[in-house]
Amino acid sequence: MAEYLKRGKSAEDVAADDKQTRDIVEGILSDVEARGDAAVRDLSVKFDNYSPERFALSQSEIEAAMSKLTSREIDDIKFAQAQIRNFAEIQRASMTDVEVETMPGVVLGHKNIPVQSAGCYVPGGKFPMIASAHMSVLTAKVAGVPRVVASSPPVNGEPHPAVVTAMHLAGADEIMILGGIQAVAAMAIGTESVKPCDMIVGPGNKFVAEAKRQVFGKVGIDLFAGPTETCVIADDTVDAEIVATDILGQAEHGYNSPAVLITNSRKLAEETLVEIERLLEILPTRDTARVSWEEYGEVILCDSYDEMLKVSEEICSEHIQVMTDRDEWFLENMTSYGALFLGPRTNVANGDKVIGTNHTLPTKKAGRYTGGLWVGKFLKTHSYQRVLTDEAATLVGEYGSRLCMMEGFVGHAEQCNVRVRRYGGVNVPYGGAAPYRDAAE
């Protein structure tokens, strides 16, 4: 049975926090819906102390921001975008349109059609998330989305040069300097100056994630991508330094980032607890990481690899790093997670920034029913059908007529019957079921 050497906040405390977040977000969304641009500006002043003439950047403002970066910094951004674009293009090529004649005279098919507009949120706050621009804007463009709006909060009262550069190089059609719930509201609901989008994507803090959840239905969303979660599955093939480093590397994201170690080695568990305390003394972002570790960190000691797998499936973390003597076994057997990082040579930061997979991933156990953001999230698969011959129209219509009448849908049945009469010459009484072939003949 799994033993908890350290536990995080109770489920009850987390639920209370979530309730407060829901109420705050609901009020702000209602305000933006009622007052439009005026509400957005008030919120930007309140939360970011930012009130420009307009939130959308002009081409000259974009160029001015980009000019603040060195050529090497721009090259680094381009390198990361090349990796993400390459993998997104491979994924897009895997999704093909289909058309097939399923029976003589009956053709069925589907087409993968991009959404026509997408709003991409790029987090800022304590850490400007440059990579989120690649992950959302660039991926949307590879999918073929015609209009992509990118929005990110100001940093120290102005557009962050690297974020703006990344959004522009990724292909954003419109760039706004607007953060938080108000950005999601503007892109989803629309205002006098912002045309609403069909879909909202991107990670964010708990307020952004809740805003996306509440606008879902009015618009599409990619997934529930809230505060970062990380889980390390490790045995005694690795040491405490690498495990502690990987835990704190994600705990520094925010004050509520769950970070979990699952292991079957008591020695590794105990040494990791000590190593985390050592690293927290020297980590420059320790003020954030320490709160996450103290309130949301957990260390779980298991009896076996099977139990490690079971516990991991229950946690369903956004990021799961596997460092064991059987990494491939975990890959083959795991079903609930955001993304996997297999072996000690890779790490979550690779996926976050540069390696090519997308870093917008499901949190709050959403990995049970969805994967992360990818090119396919921006595509809608629509089916179509055509009937080419009188014989096929009659045959399918006869079956359709009888099946509709079984359900009591007379109007549905008549859609089939009129074609059976017209293309098959069968005299079906109005409101009746098409006869079986032997009876008709």
- Mean pLDDT confidence for 54-71: 98
For residue 8, the model assigns a pLDDT of 83
Measured CA to CA, the distance from residue 136 to residue 150 in angstroms comes to: 9
**How many C-alpha atoms does 131 have within 13 Å on its Cβ side?**
18
CB of 354 within 8 A of CB of 216? no
According to the annotation, is 228 in a ligand binding site?
yes
Cβ atoms 80, 134 nearer than 8 A: yes
pLDDT at res. 439: 53
User: Residue 220's beta-bridge partner residues?
Assistant: 199
Give residue 319's pLDDT: 97
Taking alpha carbons only, the member of 264, 269, 267, 270 closest to residue 325 is 264
What's the one-letter identity of residue 271?
A: E
Residue 70: Cβ-neighbour burial (10 angstroms; 0-12, 13-18, 19+)? exposed
Is 205 annotated as ligand-binding? yes
241 is in an annotated binding site: no
- What's residue 158's pLDDT? 95
**Does residue 161 or residue 15 have the better pLDDT?**
161
Confirm if 247 and 272 have CB atoms less than 8 A apart.
Answer: yes
| Domains delineated in the chain | 27-222+376-381 (3.40.50.1980), 227-370 (3.40.50.1980), 389-440 (no CATH)
Sequence-ordered list of residues with C-beta below 8 angstroms from that of 336, at least 6 positions apart, any chain:
312, 313, 316, 365, 367, 368
pLDDT(440) > 80:
no
407 annotated among ligand-binding-site residues: yes
Q: What is the pLDDT of residue 14?
A: 77
Is 121 assigned a ligand-binding role in the annotation? yes
Give CA separation, 400 vs 53, 99, 106, 413, in Å: 61, 22, 14, 7
User: What local confidence, expressed as pLDDT, does residue 6 receive?
Assistant: 87
pLDDT score recorded for residue 125: 75
Q: Does 182 count as an annotated binding residue?
A: yes
- Strand ranges across the sheet with 3-6: 3-6, 297-301, 259-263, 230-234, 319-323, 339-342
Q: Which residues are catalytic?
A: 318-319
**Is the pLDDT confidence value at 129 over 70?**
yes
Mean pLDDT of the chain: 95
Distance CA 380, CA 135 (A): 19
- The span from the CA of 92 to the CA of 170, in Å, is 17
Mean pLDDT of 146-154: 98
Confidence of residue 238 (pLDDT cuts 50, 70, 90): very high
- What is the rounded distance in angstroms from the CA atom of residue 113 to the CA atom of residue 81? 23
CA atoms within 13 Å, Cβ hemisphere of 191: 23
- Section 407-419 average pLDDT: 98
User: For the chain, what percent of residues have pLDDT higher than 70?
Assistant: 99
Read off the pLDDT band of 334 (50, 70, 90). very high
